[in-house]
A and B are shown apart, each in its own frame.
Chain A
Amino acid sequence: MSFPLFILGVLTVAGAVAAMTLRNLIHCVLSLAVSFVGVAMLFLRLGAEFVGFAQILVYVGAVAILIVFAILLTRSGGVEPKPFLNSQWWIGLAIAIAVFGSLAVAIVGSKDLTSVALAEKTAPVKQIGIELMTRYVLPLEVIGLLLTAAMLGAVIIAWQEGDRK
């Protein structure tokens, strides 16, 4: 493991841990944005430029801001009251540790993963566009429909009834 990768990994995981353990919700979302930026930099380091910048645009620019607005609208900003974990938190923690243990054993112990060669590879935007318009045109249309439906659904669900005077 090289040193820049180590720094990026520590940044990403530390941001995630802070987002899940801090008590102030606004601080949680800011740590979440740090973690998203870390993942985007890992994408850039892996040679996937388009996905890295899409990650910054969609996650840091849209999802994090959306979560801030949700915190604002539910008036749960500031420090949360004391039991900010639910009563069965130790079961959830044990499940998470067990999942990580089994994943880590599988990753470290796999022989196929150690024999791969490091080839130089990029995904140029031009090729992504051509693929989107030829081989992946049907999924692209479905995603467009899904986003429209999700947008309409979100507006209808959050609609305040009886507010019109």
Chain B
Amino acid sequence: MTELQAYLLIAALLFCVGLAGALTRRNAILVLVGIELMLNAANLNFIAFWRFNPNAAAIDGVMFVIFSIAIAAAEAAVGLALIIAIYRHYKTSNVDEVKELKG
């Protein structure tokens, strides 16, 4: 296995752990944590592919990750504000107890 494949496997494992957590946990905060883990895995893929790109002058992978980190920070702030608002309204932070829109 080459080093690039090792990095990609680590990123895939991180992504799937985050996915499993986001799909299975009841607490909305931990769902958000799982999404953050998935974003980190995507960033790791960007940096790994940038590092093993034969074009030495290209810097696009790093720029993508910088913008991705900024967007992830904004997403975390808005998501946690939503969770706090939901907690204030429904007195719970479990995603399966908020079912007003369930058909």
What 0/1 pattern do residues 22 to 64 of B give for CB contact below 8 A with A?
A: 1111110110111011001001100110111110100100110
Q: Which of A29, A100, A132 has the most CB of B within 10 A?
A: A100
* Count of A interface residues, CB-CB < 8 Å: 85
Judging by beta carbons under 8 Å apart, are A139 and B67 in contact? yes
User: A10-57: which residues lie under 8 A (CB-CB) from chain B?
Assistant: 12-13, 16-17, 19-21, 25, 28-29, 32, 35-36, 39, 42-43, 46-48, 50-51, 54-55
Judging by beta carbons under 8 Å apart, are A103 and B12 in contact? yes
State the total of A-B contacts with C-beta under 8 angstroms: 243
Interface size band for B: 35 or more
What 0/1 pattern do residues 67 to 103 of A give for CB contact below 8 A with B?
A: 1011101111000100111110101110111011001
Judging by beta carbons under 8 Å apart, are B84 and A39 in contact? no
| Chain A nearest CB, measured from B91 CB (Å) | 9
The CA of A13 and the CA of B66, in the complex, are separated in Å by 22
Residue in contact with A35 in the complex, picked from B15, B19, B37, CB distance below 8 Å: B37
What 0/1 pattern do residues 1 to 32 of B give for CB contact below 8 A with A?
A: 11111111110111111111111111101101
| Chain A nearest CB, measured from B73 CB (Å) | 5
Residue of A with least CB distance to B68: A51
Does B88 interact with chain A (Cβ within 8 Å)?
yes
Contacts of B70 in A (CB 8 A): 58, 143, 146-147
Judging by beta carbons under 8 Å apart, are A92 and B24 in contact? yes
Residue in contact with A73 in the complex, picked from B22, B78, B84, CB distance below 8 Å: B84
Judging by beta carbons under 8 Å apart, are A74 and B93 in contact? yes
Contacts of A32 in B (CB 8 A): 33, 36-37
User: A134-148: which residues lie under 8 A (CB-CB) from chain B?
Assistant: 136, 139, 143, 146-147
The CA of A10 and the CA of B58, in the complex, are separated in Å by 30
The CA of A39 and the CA of B15, in the complex, are separated in Å by 12
Judging by beta carbons under 8 Å apart, are A59 and B71 in contact? no
Judging by beta carbons under 8 Å apart, are A150 and B74 in contact? yes
| Chain A nearest CB, measured from B33 CB (Å) | 6
